[in-house]
Amino acid sequence: MRLLLLFLLAAAALSLNAAGKVQSVAADLGSVKIIRLKTLTAQMKYNENEISVRPGEKVKIVFENGDDLPHNLVFCQPGTDTMTMAMKQMEKPEEALKRQWLPDDKRIWLHSKMLNPHEKEELIFTAPEKPGDYPYVCTFPGHALTMNGKLKVIPMGQGLKDLKFALFLGNWKMLPDFSKLKPHREGVVPNHLIDIKLDDYKNEFGVVFTGKIHAPRKGSYRFYIAGDDGVRLLIDGKKVVEYDGIHPAGTIKEEAVQLTEGDHELRYEYFQAGGQIAVFAAWKGANFDITPLSSWRPAGWEKGAKAKKKAEYAPIPIVVAAEPVIYRNFIQGAGNRAIGVGYPGGINIAWSAESMNLALLWKGAFMDASLHWNSRGGGYQSPMGYDVLKPTGEVTPAFFIAEKPDAVWPVWDKTKRYEGFVWKGYTLDAKRSPTFRYTWQGVEIEESFSASGDGNKPGGHPTLVRRIQIKGDLPANSWCRFGVGAFERKDGRFLAKGALPYSIVAEGALIAGQNLVIPAKLGTLTITYQWAQ
């Protein structure tokens, strides 16, 4: 039965092109996927919180407990609330201890023993047939909150059809407009995988691949490319992602695009200057995993462009205890002059001293400094917590002058500073919470924040109150914009609609087009942000 299912699934993953030839992008049916899962020393975490396998795939997990505490690895059915499951056994701790803290729960379909420090165990199994997210967790008392992850069972997608190529000769530093050039020769690519197989040219040429790709349903699809040298991918004539210029092929770029159900035209443009030749393309959909569309794949391609940002270092969490903690560094989403502040109670903000505005607010853990405090320390680090809100555009100021407050907001131009804004610094109050100081149009403005509730647990009602004190007379038609996007006014609050719902309360505020604004004048504006429960 299983073999039949496997065959059917494999058949579903194949597709036929017009010539009746079969192209396969399914996993080799005989091989075993080996995954190494470890516990991180002195942190209550596994080294991976997400692993992917194919439906019905043969898997071997090598589980190693490198920590100084006992840990196990327990796999549950999709939708299992693993924390509650792990906590429930505390009702009868003596029995749980006899079972080595393995919950007596039918939703568990695979588990390791409780491993002592430095013990290892191999779990060999066949992945479930049904795609989904199967949570895994450590059920030792108190560990489940952070020691968890998900096993994504997800098939591969389909490949390209009707793949053709056109070869062009030329010496370029950037991708040329191939539509204006005459190809040197053209042909088909029989195995429908993007690849450069030229016996006669090694340098100074370009290739354009065209083919069809089938989107199984309407939705968002992510395309990944890499190349040596420049590459660009277009769907239905529109550019989706590109990485132009002369460079080696290690970096993967990705972008998402909305597609309707059905066939779409894919066009992959490439040029070679000199030296190495490499082309890579892949795509991913909501219901299938990253699937290569080329023969060659760079190292780490399975994780897409995020492969490079994957943490190589042990985390260095900036811990927030009794008083707020400040972290100024490159915070993802908060520009180049970011000031992170972690408040006690798991509520955090990132302020931009470039736009003089609140850039981000989030719940839970504050920041992980390991990216910045290891090696050369470059790059942007995302907040360590979760439910990150970006009420306004990236690195854009709150204050503006306009007759109509529904003016479209500027997009951050990295080559310019914002005129009229002067950054003055910050002052810590008795509780060591910062008040940010700046001037706009010569008027002094101070902003302070206070956090209440608990962002570290569900139901904690985390709330951030922002007070903007304007200490002088502003020009006429001054506004403070503190929200962008779709807001709905309801019961005296403004509800932000979208994947991460939250609400804002601000007296005197109004919706103006895509903006949430208050008329700005001498006095104090108070804005309260709350995450949806």
Residues forming contacts to other proteins in the complex (CB under 8 A) are 173, 245-246, 325-330, 336-337, 339-340, 353, 369, 373-380, 414-415, 423-428, 432, 434
- Minimum Å gap between C-beta 358 and other proteins is 17
Gap between the Cα atoms of 160 and 141, Å rounded: 49
Comparing CB distances to other proteins, the nearer of 173 and 497 is: 173
SS3 assignment, position 304:
helix
Measured from the CB atom, is 227 or 340 closer to other proteins? 340
Q: What is the Cα–Cα distance from 287 to 261, expressed in whole angstroms?
A: 13
Question: Closest distance between other proteins and the C-beta of residue 374, in Å?
Answer: 7
User: Which three-class secondary structure state does DSSP give residue 180?
Assistant: helix
Cβ atoms of 243 and 231 closer than 8 Å: yes
User: Tokens representing 30?
Assistant: 């005989």
In angstroms, rounded to a whole number, what is the distance separating the alpha carbons of residues 281 and 253?
Answer: 10
Rounded to a whole number of angstroms, the minimum distance from the CB of residue 43 to other proteins is 17
Query: Minimum Å distance from CB 529 to other proteins?
Result: 22
State which residue, 49 or 375, has the beta carbon closest to other proteins: 375
- Residue 528 near residue 506, CB atoms below 8 Å: yes
CB of 165: closest distance to other proteins in angstroms? 27
Considering beta carbons, is residue 190 or 379 the nearer one to other proteins? 379
Q: What are phi and psi of 12, to 5 degrees?
A: -65, -30
Residue type, 187: G
Is residue 3 classed exposed, middle or buried when 0-12, 13-18 and 19+ CB atoms within 10 A define those classes? Answer: exposed
In order of 388, 389, 421, 486, 495, the CA distances from 499 in angstroms are 11, 10, 32, 12, 12
What's the closest the beta carbon of residue 416 comes to other proteins, in angstroms?
10
The vertex-352 CA angle with 425 and 521, nearest 5°, equals 75
Amino acid at 409: W
CA distances in angstroms from 36 to 30, 196, 317, 370, 474, listed in the order given: 20, 34, 24, 22, 60
Smallest gap from residue 125 Cβ to other proteins (A) = 42
Q: Toward other proteins, which CB reaches closer, 434 or 462?
A: 434
Q: Which is nearer to other proteins, 326 or 500 (CB)?
A: 326
State the residue for tokens 């997009």: 411
Quote the tokens at residue 51.
């692993």
268 or 343, CB closer to other proteins? 343
What's the rounded Cα separation, in Å, for the pair 161 and 16? 8
458: exposed, middle or buried (C-beta count within 10 Å: 0-12, 13-18, 19+)? exposed
Q: 110 vs 341, which CB is nearer to other proteins?
A: 341
Q: Which is nearer to other proteins, 378 or 458 (CB)?
A: 378
- The beta strand positions in 330-486, using DSSP E, are 338-343, 347-352, 357-363, 367-368, 386-389, 399-401, 421-428, 434-440, 443-452, 463-470, 478-484
CB 421 → other proteins: shortest distance, Å?
Answer: 11
CB of 176 to other proteins, least distance (A): 16
